[in-house]
Amino acid sequence: MRKINKIIVHCSATREGHDVDAKTIREWHLRRGWKDIGYHYIVRLDGTIEPGRMINISGAHTKGYNSESIGICYIGGVEAEKVNNKWVAKDTRTQAQKDSLLILIKLLKLMYKDATIHGHREFANKACPSFDASEEYKNLKLKNNDGIYNNKLACIINCLYGIFKSYNKPNSN
């Protein structure tokens, strides 16, 4: 099993309001010659969390840190229109995306308690993810009654996490 010590948040660098799915990003990455989609999770405009690369496999999202991290990408990250013929970085997260990112990061923190949360820009000369992820999630606290289980997807992921945890325990027989 991989030792995960970072959760790295990215944006797709697609224009505001233009939804893209994991299948499309996978196609982009395959055309670049990659083995698969580089991210482990995609968060769409409506907050839907789509799986990308399996979390037991190193991603292809942050050079030099892929083996020790989980990559999450939200759709968006640039203005709806070009400014001076260039795309301008902008935090375009919808409220649904913000909610889903928070739930997903909390669930990943349950799995990887020592993992720190970062934005891609901390490791590359880029604006990605167009907001300060370290600052936004620096006070993230996990409590039993913090509302994480109000989301059906969160319940399902937590159930799967429980199975995963049980499956990976050494056999005591």
Residue 98 domain flag = yes
Other C-beta atoms within 10 Å of 121: how many?
21
Residue 79 domain flag = yes
- For 143-156, write each residue's pLDDT tens digit: 654 555 555 555 56
Which CATH number goes with the domain that contains 24? 3.40.80.10
Domain count for the chain: 1
Please give the sequence-ordered ranges of beta strands (E in DSSP) within 90-136, or none if there are none: 116-119
**pLDDT confidence band for 28 (50 / 70 / 90):** very high
Residue 153 domain flag = no
Residue 170 domain flag = no
Residue 152 domain flag = no
Q: State yes or no: pLDDT of 162 exceeds 90.
A: no
The phi-psi region of residue 33 (left if phi > 0; otherwise alpha if psi is between -120 and 50; otherwise beta) is left
Quick one: which of 84, 90, 75 has its CA closest to 10? 75
Q: State yes or no: pLDDT of 41 exceeds 70.
A: yes
- The per-residue pLDDT for 31 is 97
Residue 149 domain flag = no
Q: Which helix (H) or strand (E) holds 121?
A: none
Domain holding 95, by residue range, is 6-142
* Distance in angstroms between the alpha carbons of the first and the last residue of the chain: 21
Q: Which helix (H) or strand (E) holds 54?
A: none
pTM of the model: 0.83
Residue 166 domain flag = no
Nearest-angstrom CA–CA distance, 111 and 55 = 11
Quick one: which of 166, 161, 69 has its CA closest to 118? 69
Residue 164 domain flag = no
Hey, which residues are catalytic here? 10, 39, 120, 126, 128
Nearest-angstrom CA–CA distance, 134 and 6 = 11
Q: State yes or no: pLDDT of 142 exceeds 70.
A: no
